[in-house]
Amino acid sequence: MAKFIFVTGGVVSGLGKGVTAASLARLLKARGYRVTLQKFDPYFNVDTSNLSPYQHGEVYVTEDGGEVDLVVGHYERLLGENLGIKNDVTSGQIYASVIAKERTGYYNGSTVQVVPHITNEIKERIYSLDTPDSDIVITEIGGTVGDIECHPFLEAIRQFKVEAGKGNVLYIHVTLVPYIEMSGEQKTKPTQHSVKELQNVGIQPDVIVCRSDYPIGADSKRKLGLFCNVDHDCIIQNLTTDNIFTVPLALEEEGLARVAARKLRLEEREPDLDSWREFCEKAQRVHSSENKLRIGLVGKYVELHDAYVSLTEALDHSGIAMDTCVEIVWIPSEKVTPAAVSRLQSLSGIVIPAGFGERGFEGKVNAARFARENGIPALMLGMGAQAGLVEFARKCGMEKANSTEFDKKTAYPVVYSPFEAPRFRCGAEPASVKKNTLLHKIYGTDIISERHRHKYEFNPAFQRELEKEGLVFSVKGTAGKLYEAYELPGHPFYVGVVYRPEFKSRPDNPHPLITAFIGAAKERAEK
């Protein structure tokens, strides 16, 4: 049976429970344990697919096609493992499953209630990750203790310790320890109240992780240990940083993994963190450089940077690999008009990301044209690649070329849906790469696997005509006739891919396509 760690949050939201959980997972993995992560979100959406990027940031996509919370991206990047649909659970999924079971008579006439039916469903989702491939399951409970929607999850994990037994379950509570500038005091009272709230539902935290802008003083640790009934060495500080790569190392210095292993009666092992330390040192050196590589991100949701968090992280990973500090220049696609497009000239590279809906699409088309005509390295993803294809088709005389998403009657539907009712293509799929192309050189292999999240495709009916004009379709799905990528020979770097390479980038293993783009942008900057 696996060991189980539950991470809860208190005082305020947005403290970084996910990064804390993922960092602990990395530290335990470095000790040779097989670890997986899981997120419980209390909202009633079934998944994140219909959530606005302005409210919830990006929709992250897993290998198996799960449309999940963006924190799963942090999990994968810090842990260095692929997760799946089962690793992100919402209240919507839980209640929908229970109601569906009730409709089929599954409960044999019982009155269906929060306890035991909802809590049992929650526990089943946790137990589903107890497989031969997992020594430790870390589950993060979204929201904060005291939120009404969190109560069923807290009750479920309270019961879990009774079922799994002492020594098999660990509770970690992440809280805020504020510092009052006026008086120069650190305040532990909010944490005390948060722990009291947790104790009221029957959970005694084993470890308290204190988020703070300032080191947690000895007096503060003494108070927290005394009033929260927690061992002194189980009060762990987690100081604010602008570089999440360093969080695992900081928590290792604080002894979080050592305490977790002791409480779970695991064999204490020395961690192998040498390669991670080397990466963090390089990242620190690159980030402190005064020379910045200015990359324009022309997107629809640029007001909320979390809408593109996987992409910006991937650009950073590749920048570090290329010893180059990447500076993102956020450009609203709606404002990239023909009159304003010249502002892109100062950029070393342009990224046109994925998105949905007509708003800002023509701005992406304008950005693609400017990059093509002015020799600026351009990487176009998802809808960004569709905009690039529309632009190229218009340049080739197909004046009103468009996507059927926006113009169903266009004479040149270079972007279309092969289905009468457009449907999502989601998750990882294999594709073949054409030999003697830039993408074949970049990937170094004939077959690749990339994650998708889109409804519309490049229309193969226009492949020959567009290739006569110089475009090359260099990647084709192995399962059908759909093309997935194009490139423009003779241009410094002009690549459009309908898939989403950013989801497969890792800090210490950046995506080769994004790294190649950064390399081309760096060459432009050095000219």
**Proportion of the chain above pLDDT 90, given as a percent:** 86
Q: What's the confidence (pLDDT) of residue 185? A: 83
Predicted pLDDT of residue 68? 95
Q: Cα 268–17–54 angle (5° rounding)?
A: 150
**pLDDT of the residue at 318:** 98
pLDDT band at 319 (very low <50, low <70, confident <90, very high): very high
Cβ partners under 8 Å of residue 333, min gap 6: 298, 299, 300, 302, 352, 355, 360, 361, 363, 364, 367
Q: Please, which pLDDT band fits residue 124 given cuts at 50, 70 and 90? A: very high
Lowest mean pLDDT: which of 19-28, 47-56, 162-171, 242-251? 47-56
Band of the pLDDT at 479, cuts 50, 70, 90? confident
Of 113-127, 129-143, 172-186, 437-451, the range with the lowest mean pLDDT is 172-186
- Per the rule left: phi > 0, alpha: psi between -120 and 50, beta: everything else, 204 is beta
Q: What is the pLDDT of residue 18?
A: 94
Q: How large is the average pLDDT for residues 269-292?
A: 94
Q: In the structure, what pLDDT confidence band is assigned to residue 54 with cuts at 50, 70 and 90?
A: confident
Domains in the chain (CATH in brackets) are: 3-47+74-277 (3.40.50.300), 289-526 (3.40.50.880)
Phi, psi torsion values for 449, nearest 5 degrees: -135, 120
Per-residue tokens: 94: 């839980």
Q: Which of 15-24, 42-51, 350-359, 377-386 has the lowest mean pLDDT?
A: 42-51
What pLDDT shows up at residue 48?
86
pLDDT of residue 15: 87
Q: Is 327 exposed, middle or buried (0-12, 13-18, 19+ CB in 10 A)?
A: middle
387 pLDDT exceeds 80? yes
Question: What is the tens place of the pLDDT at every residue in 219-272?
Answer: 899 999 999 999 999 999 999 988 889 999 999 999 999 999 999 999 989 999
pLDDT given for residue 150 in this prediction: 92
H/E run at residue 282: helix 274-287
Q: What is the token pair recorded at 180?
A: 């009052």
CA 258 vs. chain centroid, Å, equals 27
The secondary structure of 350-366 as a DSSP string is EEE----SSTTHHHHHH
Mean pLDDT of 201-229: 93
Say if CB 249 and CB 256 are below 8 A apart: no
CA dihedral 5, 6, 12, 17 (to 10 degrees): 40
> What is d(CA 482, CA 480) in angstroms, rounded to the nearest whole number?
6
Tokens representing 90 are 């919402």
Q: Please tell me the pTM assigned to this model.
A: 0.94
Strand partners, 415: 403, 458
Residue 496 near residue 486 (C-beta atoms within 8 A): yes
Per-residue tokens: 445? 């292999």
Helix (H) and strand (E) counts for the chain?
A: 17, 23
**Confidence category of residue 122, pLDDT binned at 50, 70, 90:** very high
d(C-alpha 380, C-alpha 335), whole Å = 18
- Supply the DSSP string of 108-120, one letter for each residue: TTPPP-IIIIIHH
Q: Residue 324: which residues within 8 A CB-CB, separation 6 or more?
A: 286, 289, 291, 293, 518, 522
Q: Give the pLDDT of residue 87.
A: 96
